[in-house]
Structure 1
């Protein structure tokens, strides 16, 4: 069952790109959070999406929001991806797809690749927007616009 607007984000945990244990309660329910699921590190669309979030990261931070990128890639892959593109936000390794399944993110492209879905969550931990699109860079302006609406 997929999460929808108005649902509370369930608690989840994973390893980040620095091999640290990350628990969603460290940010969800405390500040606005943009959680974006993407198919794969170092692919053209995913690299463009990550770089767009990187380039706008200060705008999200200025609004008090955090950005989390989640894919099923390994910690080592995330570490390399984050270093290569100088990504300042948290990347989480969901190699068993537990978080993806918890959110109900459906595969894209006839089930051949993992879905690309962005969630904007308010500081109470409630989902305010879900954007599901293969257009990688279109997620960032929509997420930023929604964060602005919920904090200003």
Structure 2
């Protein structure tokens, strides 16, 4: 299990299939900030709330020059259903082998009602235009997270 990549560490390169059917690479966004958020599962209450919050504030995020990418271990088909159901306006990436989640330290041991398993811990990386980690949120609480991300993007663009 990899450790978190703390700022100002370099963001590991990745290449994953997205809801658009295209393969998305981190290098596609060179020179732009990237909001890379890891979430446990499509169409579950917390994950839906988080995705819809990013959907609703995407124009503000894009206005700050950034892109949003959601990552979970669900399949492209699952992501497409989730995207259609909630009219999500940013790509979801299928990390079915959880290799990217592992690289970023988001694949962790979870304890649910005494049952220990491995899975994605809700977390967000703000990757600066320079390809370095500008900010990391571990164990994200969904409420207000979109506002925290926008505030960090504003700091980044002001800095």
Shorter-chain TM band:
over 0.9
Q: Match for residue 26 of structure 1?
A: 28
Could you say which residue in structure 2 is the equivalent of 1:71? 72
Count of residue pairs brought into register by the alignment: 151
Shift of 1:83: 0.9
Residues 50-65 of structure 1 correspond to what in structure 2 (within 5 A)?
50-65=51-66
Residues 1:41 and 1:68: Cα distance change in structure 2 (over 3 Å) = same
Partner residue of 2:154 out of 139, 148, 151: 148
- Structure 2 unmatched ranges of 5 or more: none
Larger Cα Rg: Structure 1 or Structure 2?
A: 2
1:17 and 2:19 aligned: yes
Cα deviation for residue 108 of structure 1 reads: 5.9
Which runs of at least 4 in structure 1 moved beyond 6 Å after TM superposition?
none
Q: Counterparts of 1:145 and 1:61 in 2: how far apart (Å)?
A: 13
Which 10-residue stretch deviates more, 57-66 or 113-122? 113-122
- The DSSP-based 3-state class of the residue aligned with 1:136 is coil
RMSD between aligned residues: 1.4
Greater strand proportion:
2
Spell out, residue by residue over 1:61-106, the C-alpha distance to the aligned partner (whole angstroms, 9 max, x if none).
Answer: 0011000000000000000111111111111000000100111114
Q: Deviation of residue 134 (structure 1)?
A: 4.5
Any stretches of 5+ residues in structure 1 without a counterpart? none
